[in-house]
Amino acid sequence: MGQRPGDLSAPARLAGPDEGIGADELALATRNHGLPLEALRHDVTPPGLHYVLTHYDIPYVPDAGAWRLTVDGHVRTPLDLSLADLLSFPQVTTRVTLECAGNGRALLTPRPVSQPWLVEAVGTADWTGVPLRRLLAEAGADPAAVDVVFTGADHGVERGVEQDYQRALPLSVATGDDPQVLVATAMNGAPLPPQHGRPLRLIVPGWYGMAQVKWLRSVTVGDVPFTGFQQSVAYRIRRTPDEEGEPVTRIAPRALLVPPGFPDFMSRTRVVRPGPVRLSGRAWSGQAPVSSVEVSTDGGAHWEPAVLDPVVDGHRWAWRAWHHTWTATPGEHAVGTRASDADGHVQPLDQHWNRGGLANNAVCFVRVVCVADACWP
């Protein structure tokens, strides 16, 4: 009797100095999943390999034909649209790299207790849908409005607050063309899978995952700033619990490596043979185009430039391939990579710690052991 949300939701906290991953973090790690890093080989991430983060449950939508999307609030003509209605608008396809704002969290010291991502919370897909600004124009959104609020069908409790997942974008972003925000109905040319928002989701190219509202049910134009949980409590950069903090917005630059050679099952240590090893991977930034990628095979003491492959078909919002040849010598190596973008952002070697473990893009190193054949049984 008399249960209250505080009984269900522990407050946000930091792990102790030697505290292993807890049962709560493991339950999240088992549900949500990253991109296995060898899948960085694919230009477009095949279904099931793209990262997935769901705050609550994946809604069950057996009949996508019955789904409705409303556009309301400070508009001239509210809209109530079916999937068929949305498909009757001109469709746009954009290749977009999405990354969770909490990527890298489990590598931080101290570790914020939440979904314990290492560095794999990323993926790239071709998203097809209707430009949001087309729908806002159709509805006649008030040009003096402030925020546009997006509500998903996913429902739960978070730090004591029962909620539908909601996020907002400033009207200028929602109606902008750089990036052009989409209400997406297809991923890689097929209807959205359940875990990616079936049947509708928002795609905001260049922004971290919290902006990409899945299972989208309503778009509400507001004349005051949105102060919902996911906007004003979660997804803010804070070093102390009481500060207002800076909102998380666009993706900071990051480069990742296809782990070379082959792995040891349990440690994931990589094994290579002596001689030339082709290193390759992807790099991205939501802040500006990637301008360079560097590789280090000695834990960051020395860096060499990688070759950046050309941008494919003008895909400004997708990751960019890079490669580099390394001559491996017997022994142990710490192999890493870092990206810079055209606005001068460079991946840091040291963590930029904050309480949420958000927007962290510190360089990571992969342990690679080069073994001469003669030494192997």
Three-state secondary structure call for residue 135:
helix
One of 66, 159, 231, 250 touching its own copies (CB under 8 A): 159
One of 64, 186, 237, 271 touching its own copies (CB under 8 A): 271
Binders of its own copies among residues 238 to 267 (CB under 8 A) are 259, 262-267
Report if residue 195 touches its own copies, rule: CB under 8 A.
yes
Report if residue 377 touches its own copies, rule: CB under 8 A.
yes
Separation CA 269–CA 38 (nearest Å)? 14
Separation CA 158–CA 154 (nearest Å)? 12
Contacts with 180 (C-beta within 8 Å, 6 or more apart), sequence order: 92, 94, 131, 132, 133, 205
Please give the structure tokens belonging to residue 158.
Answer: 């978070």
Binders of its own copies among residues 63 to 102 (CB under 8 A) are none
Please report how close the Cβ of residue 114 comes to its own copies at its closest, in angstroms: 7
One of 48, 189, 225, 348 touching its own copies (CB under 8 A): 48
Q: Which is nearer to its own copies, 10 or 349 (CB)?
A: 10
Three-state secondary structure call for residue 334:
strand
β-strand partners of 369: 271, 332
Rounded to an integer, what is the distance from CA 23 to the centroid of its chain?
A: 24
Binding piece for its own copies, criterion CB under 8 A, among 50-58, 82-90, 207-215, 305-313: 50-58
110 preceded by cis ω (within 30°)?
yes
Strands 182-187 and 161-170, bridge-based pairing: unpaired
Binders of its own copies among residues 114 to 133 (CB under 8 A) are 114, 116-118, 120
Binding piece for its own copies, criterion CB under 8 A, among 41-49, 128-136, 144-152, 287-295: 41-49
Report if residue 312 touches its own copies, rule: CB under 8 A.
no
Report if residue 230 touches its own copies, rule: CB under 8 A.
no
Q: Which is nearer to its own copies, 35 or 136 (CB)?
A: 35
Contacts with 129 (C-beta within 8 Å, 6 or more apart), sequence order: 86, 91, 92, 182, 183, 184, 185, 186, 200, 203
- Amino acid letter, 62: P
- Amino acid letter, 194: P
Please report how close the Cβ of residue 289 comes to its own copies at its closest, in angstroms: 27
One of 240, 244, 276, 376 touching its own copies (CB under 8 A): 376
Report if residue 334 touches its own copies, rule: CB under 8 A.
no
Please report how close the Cβ of residue 84 comes to its own copies at its closest, in angstroms: 22
Binding piece for its own copies, criterion CB under 8 A, among 155-163, 285-293, 299-307, 341-349: 155-163
Contacts with 307 (C-beta within 8 Å, 6 or more apart), sequence order: 322, 323, 324
